[in-house]
Amino acid sequence: MAHRITLIAGDGIGPEVAEAAVRVLEATGVAIEWDRVELSADRIRATGESLPADVVASIERTKVGLKGPVTTPVGGGFQSVNVALRKKLDLYANVRPVKSMPGLHTRFDDVALDMVIFRENTEDLYSGLEHEVVPDVITSIKVITRTASTRIARAAFRYASRHLRKRVTAIHKANIMKLADGLFLRCCREIAADYPHLIYNELIVDNASMQLVTRPEQFDILVLPNLYGDILSDLAAGLVGGLGVAAGANLGDQHAVFESVHGSAPDIAGQGKANPTALLRSSVMMLDHLKETAAARRLDEAIARVYAKGDGLTPDVGGTATTGQFTEAVIRELKG
């Protein structure tokens, strides 16, 4: 039986990388029926909504979405598309693998990095609760709850246990925000007690930032509140080649949306320069989520072989290939 999946191509380079992903997924042999919906800056402006009803309805039907980059219009008070999706569908776990790619040269060529970041997705300062107390004095309220903290911690520990990981590190600033981040840590400690076979430790966010760029190889699974997770997941992506190769998933109990982490890059749209690696690696996560484990592994290995050979890469990662040529290279590796 075919999997039904919502496809949001997005705008800018989104349609190019989305079509690359569709072609590559077809080459895996996994049967997929795509429910294509439009979500772009133009449509948002036309409808006046960051998240039109048909987009939500499609994901509610299929339960799974694959999403290219979507530009949120500047001005007009539009909410970020990603934030709107996460809140509407209660996609509380943002999951970002950070893994070295063979043949992609970075400052950490001598270190094989392999960590996964679990970022709480629904609250913290992203609750958007701001108030002007008096002119030029603003308060922005940080919201931390037991429910949200417990479920992101449980997601991180459950993943670590299932994937035979060894360590979970909670990132916090409880030395200053003793109540808010203190609650987050208490929840992490409570869940850690259910997984005695895993090593659990804690790091203050500023110390964690320094250690990520000095000794990143020590990290395995990281679990963080929303803001710290947003910042450190981008920082960590920079260690392995940047957002152009970074996979991402937004997971809830009922729905899952897999996306490219990078922006829509309208300056190179339509020129065949877009690198579909991020969406392809997100597709690997999607296949794993769909329990198409063998196909997920084959696709992951095919992408890695293209990078290791180095002759089918796009300009952003040191090659000269077009989007289509990179896509063909991955398909050849899958079929070979």
Q: How much is the pTM?
A: 0.94
Q: Strand, helix or coil at 116?
A: strand
What domains lie within the chain, and their CATH numbers?
A: 1-102+240-336 (3.40.718.10), 107-113+125-224 (3.40.50)
What pLDDT band is residue 293 in, cutting at 50, 70 and 90? very high
pLDDT at 19 over 90: yes
Q: What distance in Å separates the CA atoms of residue 218 and residue 313, rounded to the nearest whole number?
A: 29
pLDDT confidence of residue 76: 62
Range list of H helices, the chain:
14-27, 41-47, 53-62, 81-89, 146-162, 180-192, 205-214, 226-239, 277-289, 293-309, 323-335
pLDDT confidence of residue 249: 97
pLDDT confidence of residue 56: 95
Residue 191: phi and psi, rounded to 5, are: -70, -35
Distance of CA 182 to the CA centre of its chain: 26
Beta-carbon count within 10 A of 128 CB: 11
Of residues 77 and 234, which shows the higher confidence score?
A: 234
Point out the least confidently predicted range of 46-50, 108-112, 126-130.
Answer: 108-112
| Active site residues per annotation | 126, 173, 206, 230
pLDDT at 110 over 80: no
Mean pLDDT of 54-64: 96
Q: Are 72 and 11 in contact (CB under 8 A)?
A: no
pLDDT confidence of residue 117: 98
In degrees, rounded to 5, the angle at the alpha carbon of residue 281 between the alpha carbons of residues 39 and 71 is: 25
